[in-house]
């Protein structure tokens, strides 16, 4: 039986949705046994949902003398010690910023191979697939025998339920070395936007919006449809949006269920960052825009009329 440890990321009392995708990828092969590695102050409240997504075992990791949430250095050390004890054949995590950070730390501590942002994983075959050259090609990488680690791109694998009954095992981490970084406090921004890479729907704007203020048109629509707001490189370079919103080769690569491109011409660089979207909708006043050759549905028209009309219809 091939044993896979999936690092579970919690945020504001719940489990990140991308972790369910990682669990789904891990149990795709029936010959694999999936264990959830969870560092949380109250692991019992997550048991039922982890069982729902197929975890056969839950390792509840605690640290003597303190919490692990929001303490990446201590959490990674604790996870690494748990890996040594329970000896999985592979370690997986969701390819979120925190998931990638945690996996990099664990891989460094254990001195094991690591591949980030995988679009497909065959754990039993020890193979992963990654996108290369702006999505024009993909490469399959095969690990040598021994423990390996990988993160899975959010939305690359649809999350699927597979109810199970999980055994919960407590693991107490006894810290030997003092932490070099201590978190004094955590203050969350209640108005923080949805994370692009985890959003099921994204509505993005291009330079055609004309100003940062005009992105409020997209913000209003996004609130109605539960979407995250993105931007093209041209819009970011023009100062209309921060780089954290940029979708494309030099920005973020996303795979939402629906991607709505408003006033975006459809350059190769932008397309490389959203080509794996399941449905692409384009709104552009130029009928000759390249985006219309790459989308599933196209609307030729003024985004300043179409987007507000859509928002009003949904109100």
Residue 180 has pLDDT above 80, yes or no: no
Residue 15 has pLDDT above 70, yes or no: yes
Sketch out the chain's domains with CATH numbers: 2-173 (3.40.50.620), 196-314 (3.40.50.1220)
- Mean pLDDT score of the chain, rounded to an integer? 92
CB 183 within 8 A of CB 68: no
Mean pLDDT over 168-189 rounds to 76
Residue 197 has pLDDT above 80, yes or no: yes
The per-residue pLDDT for 193 is: 76
- Percent of the chain's residues with pLDDT above 90: 78
Mean pLDDT over 181-191 rounds to 74
Residue 46 main-chain phi, psi, to 5 deg: -100, -5
The per-residue pLDDT for 281 is: 98
Mean pLDDT over 286-295 rounds to 96
Give the pair of three-digit tokens for residue 268: 């190769």
Ranges 12-26, 101-115, 127-141, 261-275: which has the least confidence: 127-141
Helical pair 303-314 and 215-225, crossing angle rounded to 10 deg = 30
Q: How do beta strands 90-94 and 2-8 pair?
A: parallel
DSSP string, the chain: -EEEEEEE-EETTEE-HHHHHHHHHHTSSTTEEEEEEE--S-GGGGHHHHHHTT-SEEEEEEETTB--TT-HHHHHHHHHHHHHHH--SEEEEE-SHHHHHHHHHHHHHHT--EEEEESEEETTTTEEEEEETTTTEEEEEEPPSS-EEEEE-TTSS---------EEEEEEE---S--S---------TTPPPPGGG-SEEEEE-GGG-SSTTHHHHHHHHHHHT-EEEE-HHHHHTTSS-GGGBBSTTSB----SEEEEES----HHHHHHHTT-SEEEEEES-TT-GGGGT-SEEEES-HHHHHHHHHHHH-
pLDDT tens, residue by residue, 297-307:
999 999 999 99
Cα–Cα distance measured from residue 282 to residue 299, given in angstroms and rounded to the nearest whole number: 6
The per-residue pLDDT for 231 is: 98
At 176, the pLDDT band (50, 70, 90 cuts) reads low
Residue 103 has pLDDT above 80, yes or no: yes
Which residues on neighbouring strands pair with residue 149, listed in sequence order? 91, 114
Mean pLDDT over 252-268 rounds to 95
Exposure string (b/e) for 196-211, b if CB count within 10 Å is 16 or more? Answer: bbbbbbbbbbbbbbee
67 versus 71: the higher-pLDDT residue is 71
The per-residue pLDDT for 66 is: 60
The per-residue pLDDT for 177 is: 61
Residue 130 has pLDDT above 70, yes or no: yes
Mean pLDDT over 241-262 rounds to 94
Cα–Cα distance measured from residue 92 to residue 278, given in angstroms and rounded to the nearest whole number: 24
Give the pair of three-digit tokens for residue 249: 């080769």
Cα–Cα distance measured from residue 121 to residue 16, given in angstroms and rounded to the nearest whole number: 20
Mean pLDDT over 224-252 rounds to 95
The per-residue pLDDT for 67 is: 66
Number of Cβ within 10 Å of residue 76's Cβ equals 23
CB 115 within 8 A of CB 130: yes
70 versus 238: the higher-pLDDT residue is 238
Residue 65 has pLDDT above 60, yes or no: no
Cα of first residue to Cα of last residue in the chain, in angstroms, is 52
Number of Cβ within 10 Å of residue 160's Cβ equals 14
The per-residue pLDDT for 178 is: 60
Residue 110 has pLDDT above 90, yes or no: yes
Residue 8 has pLDDT above 80, yes or no: yes
**Cα dihedral 199/277/280/216 (nearest 10):** 30
């Amino acid at each position: 039986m091939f044993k896979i440890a999936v690092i579970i990321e919690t945020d504001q009392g719940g489990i990140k949705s991308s972790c369910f995708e990682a669990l789904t990828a891990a149990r795709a092969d029936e010959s694999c046994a999936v264990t959830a590695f969870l560092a949380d102050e109250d692991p019992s409240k997550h048991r039922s949902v982890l069982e729902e997504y197929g975890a056969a075992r839950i390792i509840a990791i605690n640290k003597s003398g303190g919490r692990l949430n929001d303490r990446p250095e201590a959490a990674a050390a604790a996870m690494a010690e748990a890996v040594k004890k329970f000896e999985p054949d592979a370690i997986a995590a969701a390819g979120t910023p925190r998931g990638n950070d945690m996996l990099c730390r664990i891989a460094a501590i254990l001195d094991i191979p690591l591949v980030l942002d995988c679009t497909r994983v065959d754990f039993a075959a020890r193979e992963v697939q990654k996108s290369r050259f702006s999505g024009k090609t993909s490469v399959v990488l095969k690990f040598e025998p021994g423990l390996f680690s990988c993160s899975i791109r959010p939305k690359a694998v649809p999350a699927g339920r597979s109810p199970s009954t999980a055994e919960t095992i407590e693991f107490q981490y006894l810290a030997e070395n003092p932490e070099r970084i201590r978190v004094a406090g955590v203050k969350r921004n209640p108005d923080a936007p949805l994370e692009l890479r985890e959003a099921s729907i994204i509505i993005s704007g291009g330079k055609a919006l004309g100003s940062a203020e005009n992105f409020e048109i997209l913000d209003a629509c996004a609130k109605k449809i539960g979407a995250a707001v993105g931007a093209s490189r041209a819009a970011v370079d023009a100062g209309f949006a921060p780089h954290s919103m940029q979708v494309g080769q030099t920005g973020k690569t996303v795979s939402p269920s629906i991607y709505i491109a408003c006033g975006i011409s459809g350059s190769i660089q932008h397309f490389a960052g959203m080509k794996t979207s399941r449905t692409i909708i384009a709104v552009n006043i130029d009928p000759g825009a390249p985006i219309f050759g790459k989308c599933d549905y196209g609307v030729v028209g003024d985004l300043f009329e179409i987007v507000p009309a859509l928002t009003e219809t949904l109100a």
